[in-house]
Amino acid sequence: NRALGFPREWRPMEVRSATDDQMVFTPEGAWHFIADKLEEGHSLEEVVLNNPKGKHAYVMKIHISADVPHVYVKLQLENGKAIARSFHYSDKNKEQNA
């Protein structure tokens, strides 16, 4: 695992799958899920990061079902590539400090 030098909460294996509530996302499945949501036109919110200071990222809060929190996804674009910053259940306290 490469040290990226900034906060990262990439935890797809803790998030219940959108297609089978008995399963969790795999890392690859999380990327496919994100791609599907982007292709569907899911809204993105641009945020300014604290670390690295002043950089921008894009956040999606994705509803899966009524009995679980939204999935919080944060992607940072750097040198033409998407960097996974977050994939976990939404926690408003953590999100405000990310």
- Is the Cβ–Cβ distance between 39 and 30 less than 8 Å? no
Q: 3-state DSSP: the chain helix, strand, coil percent, rounded to 5?
A: 20, 40, 40
User: Facing residues of 89 across strands?
Assistant: 71
**Mean pLDDT, the chain, whole residue set:** 88
Average pLDDT value for residue range 41-49: 96
> Could you read off the pLDDT of 8-36 as tens digits, one per residue?
899 999 999 988 888 999 999 999 999 99
Segments making up each domain of the chain, as ranges:
9-97
Max Cα–Cα distance, the chain, nearest Å: 39
- pLDDT range class, residue 92, cuts 50, 70, 90: low
Q: Give the residue carrying structure tokens 């900034």.
A: 6
